[in-house]
Structure 1
Amino acid sequence: WSQVVSEAEKIVGYPTSFMSLRCLLSDELSNIAMQVRKLVGTKHPLLDTARGFVYDSRNNLQMRGLVILLISKAAGPSMADRSFQHNMVSGIYSSQRSLAEITELIHTAFLVHRGIVNIGELKTCDGPLKDMQFGNKMAVLSGDFLLANACTSLAQLQNTKVVELISSAIGDLVQGIYYENSKSSEENCLTDDIGISTWKEQVFLSHSALLAKSCQAAMELAKHSAEIQDMAFQYGKHMSMSHKLHSDLQPFVKESDTMAFSLNSAPAVLHQEFLGREAWIKQIRELQEAIRAGKGVTSAIDLCRSHGNRALAALERFPPSEARAALANIVYAVTRFP
């Protein structure tokens, strides 16, 4: 995965791992970073999130922004309007680069907001109450700051359709996280009897909508046709779904007893459908091994590859290029299993 991303960054001529650097190095966020140091010694999630931005290059790869830049370059300039080609650098419009940064800022803002902890469920080992409350305040304020910067930059694009698309993606994210939070207290307990169709709807809202609509918005900024915009949307949607499925499958395809897994992951949901609710409850104590040995894992792998194939099919509408090949390689990376 890291090699695929590294090669793709060379194609777009833009180090996406530093995509949000201008914002992250602002005076306001520098002050926030100084305050976050007070959380050292606690188990507040904001500390891990902040540490990941600085130290963890593997998880800090700006995948969404990179995909937007790649699909912008793959599509090229619109045949309908070539008057703005002088604004292109490495085959990408400056407005599309701005959109890639905006998308990453939105994703980062929601990542920070997800780190807010439920004070009522804290344990003594998590850290002093006042520090955890302070961490929550910092998570809210820093997330809001990033989101406000993203919205300001979005308005500066001066394209109402793009504003509508990204605004609706933010709404989708809020709705998706609401669904997640409604089950968060039951993460390791039995949850509602959901099927794979419900799982797909929830994952689209919380994981796929932002990238799908950002890819579509990138095509709108270049004044591409509705057909090209839809193909870009389809690629973003199905690549994100494959990426989430690939992540869900890791505890079941890797031989490791230490990897945690969610009962709302795709293999678990599919296993429940095949097994039936009553038998599912009886097997709960042996769940991970049961899923690994059952049909849930193979079905989830098939589903991951199905979404990957649909993403590749959407790419067929774009002319052959290095950028298109890089987008295809990203799909191959998230649909490959041992």
Structure 2
Amino acid sequence: MEIYCICSMQVLLLMATALNVHIPESVGGGVGDIVTTELRTRQQSIAEITEMIHVASLLHDDVLDDADKRRGIGSLNAVMGNKLAVLAGDFLLSRACVALAALKNTEVVSLVATVVENLVMGETMQMTTSSEQRCSMDYYMQKTYYKTASLISNSCKAIALLAGQTAEVAMLAFEYGKNLGLAFQLIDDVLDFTGTSASLGKGSLSDIQQGIVTAPILFAMEEFPQLHAIVYQGFDNPENIEIALEYLGKSHGIERTKELAMKHANLAAAAIDSLPESNDENVIRSRRALVDLTQRVITRNK
């Protein structure tokens, strides 16, 4: 669920530079010179808060999933135990709340509070899903937004609000983060079937072994309705996993998932292209980098 190859802090700092088009350029060089020190500091705080929430969610997820590795490294819960992992996540969330309160911006506080709510809602949806919901692409995409895309989308919007941007520009920032997050997760779903344990840092087929039905299987079910019966039965039986993989191999599930990821990546790039024009080279470079990131999401192999 995490944007690891593309650090959320990197995205948000690029977004800050890409949106701070009304701040006069100060004396000196460097990409940060187009913004005032105070604004840049507040926007960097959003990036730090986002990263703390992100890491806290990973620590809690590993406990819930009983994971023993995180990107090829022993997870904190496996090394130090569940109690310490939960407390570490709670500590990061508390520090994020303190930093958020210091910004004294009620709209930004509301956005980030919504993120935390969405993370819990997404995890709850995954844990309590019915057989019918597991077969629904709409349900899957909503869960994916809550678990993966809400954090980066609302944080991008917060960056825009702190810069004093219009509601329209703030929504474009939100759309960029939302579609970038969805594209990332869709490719992650593909890699769970096509990647190796070494590249992913987790066992291949991790999701389906946990009974989690993702986009490639959902698309395969559209081509082979008989796969519904297997999904309804669940994947506690290894034979059901083998049957599902056989159907997936005969389907266009992987290709269609990649196509859907590309669609969201293109929507993210379009959001950046729709921002008000600027002649500032730093703004232009940052926007170009944000567009480039949408392609990195699609072409990554880990």
Residue in structure 1 matched with residue 89 of structure 2 by the alignment: 143
TM-score (norm 1): 0.68
Corresponding residue to 1:71 among 3, 15, 23: 15
Corresponding residue to 1:244 among 182, 185, 189: 185
SS in 1 for 2:81: helix
1:178 is the counterpart of 2:124: yes
Counterparts in 2 of 1:149 and 1:84: CA distance versus 1, 3 Å = farther
Map 1:1-338 to 2 at 5 A: 63-78=7-22, 82=23, 89-91=32-34, 93-117=40-64, 135-182=81-128, 193-254=134-195, 259-263=204-208, 264-277=213-226, 281=230, 284-318=241-275, 319=277, 321-336=284-299
Counterparts in 2 of 1:139 and 1:251: CA distance versus 1, 3 Å = closer
Counterparts in 2 of 1:94 and 1:240: CA distance versus 1, 3 Å = same
Identity between Structure 1 and Structure 2 (%):
29
The unaligned stretches of length 5 or more in structure 2 are 67-76, 232-239, 279-283
Quote the offset at 1:176 in angstroms.
0.6
Report the Cα distance in structure 2 between the residues aligned to 1:162 and 1:179, rounded to whole angstroms: 26
The unaligned stretches of length 5 or more in structure 1 are 1-58, 120-130
Counterparts in 2 of 1:94 and 1:118: CA distance versus 1, 3 Å = closer
- Maintained 8 Å contact 1:165/1:213: yes
* RMSD value, Cα: 3.3
Count of aligned pairs? 261
Quote the offset at 1:140 in angstroms.
1.8
SS in 1 for 2:266: helix
- Maintained 8 Å contact 1:112/1:142: yes
Quote the offset at 1:285 in angstroms.
2.6
Name the amino acid aligned to 1:305.
M
Report the Cα distance in structure 1 between the residues aligned to 2:247 and 2:84, rounded to whole angstroms: 41
Counterparts in 2 of 1:83 and 1:153: CA distance versus 1, 3 Å = farther
TM-score (norm 2): 0.76
Name the amino acid aligned to 1:64.
S
Name the amino acid aligned to 2:59.
V
- Maintained 8 Å contact 1:195/1:270: no
Report the Cα distance in structure 2 between the residues aligned to 1:94 and 1:118, rounded to whole angstroms: 36
Counterparts in 2 of 1:238 and 1:278: CA distance versus 1, 3 Å = closer
Counterparts in 2 of 1:260 and 1:141: CA distance versus 1, 3 Å = same
